[in-house]
A and B are shown apart, each in its own frame.
Chain A
Amino acid sequence: MIILYIEERVIHLLEIINLSKAFKQNKVVNGINLHLEKGETVGLLGPNGAGKSTSISLISSLIQPDGGDVRLNNESIIKSPQNLRKILGVVPQEIALYMDLSARENLIFFGKMHKIPNSKLQTRVDEVLDIIGLTDRQKDLVKTFSGGMKRRLNIGVALLHEPEIIIMDEPTVGIDPQSRNYILETVKRLNKEQKMTVLYTSHYMEEVEFLCNRIYIMDHGEIIASGTKEEIKNILSAETAINIKVELVKNEFIEALKKESNVRHLSVHQSTISVIVPRQVNMLKDIFRHAESNGTTVLSVQIETPSLEDVFLHLTGRQLRD
């Protein structure tokens, strides 16, 4: 754990302070604060358009912020990002690879860009190919790869120069479950075995729950909640989620539930209506009463402790994949 104390101020491996960015009049990132400690995996959650990718570009020094600072071991990297870039690997959301080159040629090219000495490069490429499970396909052109294989190589390129910090921007978008699991396991292994610090953004709550120690939730360019998984879930600790599965969703039934003063939040997903209510309140009686008066057949009722998804919904009013 690299946490140094100087004049009672905690020095983080990477610290983002009041970072802001606007494109024309549109404030995409609005004064976000977050930090990474060595060896931890941090999740950055947010729906589309929340400002996650812009934040990543700002943090990785690809765009200049309008305000705020990015500090590596308490040194600002805004004006001279070279030190950060040396220890940073970025996995972009896009497949940033040369499709007309083979997997090995891509790795060699980016290895040269990272100035890995020739004597070490071939060995390192072999190691990375092994990590991402593409040793057998190393000579094939990337354009012949499946989506999952491309994603794995996309990660492999970011690992070449053995970065201390890796930022992954939705690295599992659009791939099959098998490849997704492989990637998640790889990230977990890199974090555990190589003590790699990971900042992971995703649409998938379960990925963040699986990988991350701490989570930042972002919406409309702002961090609206942060903490460990438990801390985040505790936001809704005084509340209960009730999932009501009905035969047919009727507006009258929904309106009647919404009018109940104890219903803090209501959402509908296919034939399931989710309501969040105070834990001490027994709502079941009222739910069945409204169902009967509106001619709604209730198939099942499930009472749950709120999940991260529920917290997210509660905080943003939107599903993660909205």
Chain B
Amino acid sequence: MYWQMLMKELLIIWRRPRELIVLLLMPFILITILGSALGAMNDGDIQIDAKLAVVVKDKEDTARQKVIEEVSNSNLDRQQREGIIATIQSIQPVDLFLNNVVKSPELQEILSVKVYTDDISEKEAEKYDGVLIIPNGFTEAFYRYLSDEKDSVPAWDLRTTDESSVNSSIIQDVISSYQKEWVYIKTAKDVDIDYSKLTTKSSMHVESITKKKEISAFSYYAVGMCVMFVFYVSTTVANFAFQQKEERIFERIILANVPSSLFFAGIFSATFLLSFIQLHILFGLTAVVYGVIFPSVSNYLVVTLFLNIMVAGFATFVSMLSFRTNSRNVESIFSSLIIPVLAFIGGSFFNLSSMGGVMEKLGEYSPGGAAVTAYLKIYQGYGITEIASQLQAISLFSLVLLIGSVLLMKKRGGVL
């Protein structure tokens, strides 16, 4: 019976070309228009422009001189002294970071760095996606770590405006990767290997983490439009559901001793399946036509399944609300007002995270925004752990919608 309910929904939508066009052709046309128009404006790509302020409280030259002097005057034999001094002279950690790592051509395209020697005001800090503070005494401690006088190096203090934004993620990646380099340097010194042989490998490692796939206008709007139009599946199905109530078909089903929960389970499942098919068709088309390809199919499937569940919950909630209020207006309000607003907030039209502040948060954790951010991150090559907060937000919305639906169903006894 459940299967029959599901098949009926699918068959009806299959035989309504107008709805199919709206759900499949319309988003593809919009991807083409927006991708072409805004892609040209942005010279083909949406630029990632992460801004980092580095406050250097450390005196690298002074520290180096001090440690070299101490090593020269130490009781170590000559060969050991010369080895340590050579290592110290070849490695200047702060200088290496500021003049080599962040000035690499790959990073320069996406990251701009400004160096300060004094603390910066909060107002000034707001201009940046992250503020890195290199503490006083860092270089000295670093050299003592190399010469086995200390077990660890003092960590650099990084403050980001929003840990979940793409810009902040890039900065975090760059710094954590560079900090891992220190272990390589120490290892090289301990096993008496030329660090430069290791640096090629390790700097490549830094590069591979920081050089995430760029987001083209087509890929951005493929994600934006797909996420927006997947919500229209829910209102389309909710519209069918209410039509069944208006035309007394729902009553006929109830009179056949079918529990109303089964009817709504059909709504949920049909929306889940239709949105799943819709997203595959749209992303498939954009992959073939515009080359928008997700690097990990499994990650894409995870995000899609989470989104499908949320959209199905949305359809069930809207249907239930329409049944309760006995009004077609509910579906109209959702399709003509709430979905466009959610799409706007979620960044389906343009990247709201660039506005910062509350809008950025709203953009990333609204129902649509969480999905857009998750898709964009996996498109860039991030893993599931990096989109955990978005998946949590989507799960939370799904749960709220389903609980809301159940409460609406139980609000009054008898037939809805």
Q: Assuming the A-B contacts A94-B248, A109-B4, are A100 and B15 also in contact, with contact meaning beta carbons closer than 8 angstroms in the complex?
A: yes
A97 near B249 (CB under 8 angstroms)? yes
B105 at the A/B interface (Cβ < 8 Å)? no
The CA of A105 and the CA of B9, in the complex, are separated in Å by: 12
A94 near B11 (CB under 8 angstroms)? no
The CA of A152 and the CA of B389, in the complex, are separated in Å by: 56
A266 at the A/B interface (Cβ < 8 Å)? no
B258 near A113 (CB under 8 angstroms)? yes
Closest A-chain residue to B249, C-beta based?
Answer: A96
B247 at the A/B interface (Cβ < 8 Å)? yes
A113 near B253 (CB under 8 angstroms)? yes
A112 at the A/B interface (Cβ < 8 Å)? yes
| Residues in A26-66 with C-beta less than 8 Å from chain B | 57, 60-64
The proximity string for A residues 56-80 relative to B, scoring 1 for CB distances below 8 Å and 0 otherwise, is 0100111110000000000000000
A101 near B8 (CB under 8 angstroms)? yes
B411 at the A/B interface (Cβ < 8 Å)? no
Query: B residues within 8 A CB of A288?
Result: none
The CA of A85 and the CA of B254, in the complex, are separated in Å by: 9
Closest A-chain residue to B252, C-beta based?
Answer: A96
Closest A-chain residue to B2, C-beta based?
Answer: A112
The proximity string for A residues 104-140 relative to B, scoring 1 for CB distances below 8 Å and 0 otherwise, is 0100011011110000000000000000000000000
B12 near A114 (CB under 8 angstroms)? no
The proximity string for B residues 4-30 relative to A, scoring 1 for CB distances below 8 Å and 0 otherwise, is 100010011001100000000000000
Partner of B249, one of A98, A114, A141: A98
B214 at the A/B interface (Cβ < 8 Å)? no
B256 near A100 (CB under 8 angstroms)? no
What is the interface residue range for chain A against chain B? 20 to 34
Closest A-chain residue to B263, C-beta based?
Answer: A113
The CA of A115 and the CA of B254, in the complex, are separated in Å by: 13
A264 at the A/B interface (Cβ < 8 Å)? no
B256 near A161 (CB under 8 angstroms)? yes
Q: Is the interface of A mostly helix, strand, loop or mixed?
A: loop
A112 near B249 (CB under 8 angstroms)? no
A110 near B247 (CB under 8 angstroms)? no
B15 near A110 (CB under 8 angstroms)? no
The CA of A183 and the CA of B158, in the complex, are separated in Å by: 81
A114 near B256 (CB under 8 angstroms)? yes
A100 near B252 (CB under 8 angstroms)? no
Query: A residues within 8 A CB of B413?
Result: 64
Q: Assuming the A-B contacts A94-B247, A96-B247, are A101 and B12 also in contact, with contact meaning beta carbons closer than 8 angstroms in the complex?
A: yes
The CA of A20 and the CA of B1, in the complex, are separated in Å by: 34
A157 at the A/B interface (Cβ < 8 Å)? yes
Partner of A98, one of B1, B8, B254, B255: B8
A157 near B257 (CB under 8 angstroms)? no
The CA of A110 and the CA of B254, in the complex, are separated in Å by: 11
Query: A residues within 8 A CB of B15?
Result: 100-101, 141
Closest B-chain residue to A108, C-beta based?
Answer: B4
The CA of A115 and the CA of B1, in the complex, are separated in Å by: 8
Query: B residues within 8 A CB of A110?
Result: 252-253, 256
Query: A residues within 8 A CB of B254?
Result: 62
A85 near B414 (CB under 8 angstroms)? no
> Count the A-B residue pairs with Cβ separation under 8 angstroms: how many?
66
Partner of B12, one of A85, A98, A157: A98
B255 near A157 (CB under 8 angstroms)? no
The CA of A161 and the CA of B258, in the complex, are separated in Å by: 14
Query: Which of A60, A110, A112, A141: most chain B CB closer than 10 A?
Result: A112
Query: B residues within 8 A CB of A62?
Result: 251, 254-255, 415
Partner of A101, one of B11, B247, B248, B257: B11
Closest A-chain residue to B412, C-beta based?
Answer: A64
The CA of A240 and the CA of B154, in the complex, are separated in Å by: 113
A19 at the A/B interface (Cβ < 8 Å)? no
B4 near A82 (CB under 8 angstroms)? no
Query: B residues within 8 A CB of A82?
Result: 257
A308 at the A/B interface (Cβ < 8 Å)? no
B256 near A113 (CB under 8 angstroms)? yes
A199 at the A/B interface (Cβ < 8 Å)? no
B249 near A100 (CB under 8 angstroms)? no
- In the assembled complex, how far is the CB of residue A140 from the closest CB belonging to chain B, in whole angstroms? 13
A112 near B4 (CB under 8 angstroms)? yes
The proximity string for B residues 57-81 relative to A, scoring 1 for CB distances below 8 Å and 0 otherwise, is 0000000000000000000000000
Partner of B255, one of A60, A64, A101: A60
A88 at the A/B interface (Cβ < 8 Å)? yes
B1 near A113 (CB under 8 angstroms)? yes
Q: Assuming the A-B contacts A86-B257, A115-B1, A141-B15, are A157 and B252 also in contact, with contact meaning beta carbons closer than 8 angstroms in the complex?
A: yes
A225 at the A/B interface (Cβ < 8 Å)? no
A95 at the A/B interface (Cβ < 8 Å)? yes
Query: B residues within 8 A CB of A64?
Result: 413-414
A92 near B251 (CB under 8 angstroms)? yes
The CA of A114 and the CA of B257, in the complex, are separated in Å by: 7
A90 near B252 (CB under 8 angstroms)? yes
Query: A residues within 8 A CB of B1?
Result: 112-113, 115
Closest A-chain residue to B250, C-beta based?
Answer: A96
- In the assembled complex, how far is the CB of residue A108 from the closest CB belonging to chain B, in whole angstroms? 8
Q: Assuming the A-B contacts A64-B413, A98-B8, A100-B11, are A85 and B257 also in contact, with contact meaning beta carbons closer than 8 angstroms in the complex?
A: yes
- In the assembled complex, how far is the CB of residue B94 from the closest CB belonging to chain A, in whole angstroms? 70
| Residues in A235-250 with C-beta less than 8 Å from chain B | none
A85 near B256 (CB under 8 angstroms)? yes
Query: B residues within 8 A CB of A90?
Result: 251-252, 255
- In the assembled complex, how far is the CB of residue B196 from the closest CB belonging to chain A, in whole angstroms? 72
Query: B residues within 8 A CB of A100?
Result: 11-12, 15-16
Query: B residues within 8 A CB of A63?
Result: 414-415
Query: Which of A92, A141, A161: most chain B CB closer than 10 A?
Result: A92
Beyond A101-B11, A114-B257, A157-B252, 20 additional contacts (C-beta under 8 Å) are A57-B251, A61-B255, A62-B254, A62-B255, A88-B255, A90-B251, A92-B248, A96-B249, A97-B249, A98-B249, A100-B12, A101-B8, A101-B12, A109-B8, A110-B253, A113-B256, A113-B258, A114-B256, A115-B256, A141-B15
Would you list 8 pairs from A and B whose C-beta atoms are within 8 A, ordered by A residue? A62-B251, A85-B256, A90-B252, A94-B247, A96-B252, A97-B249, A98-B8, A100-B12
8 pairs of A and B residues whose beta carbons are closest in the complex:
A113-B256, A96-B248, A112-B4, A100-B15, A92-B248, A64-B414, A114-B256, A94-B248
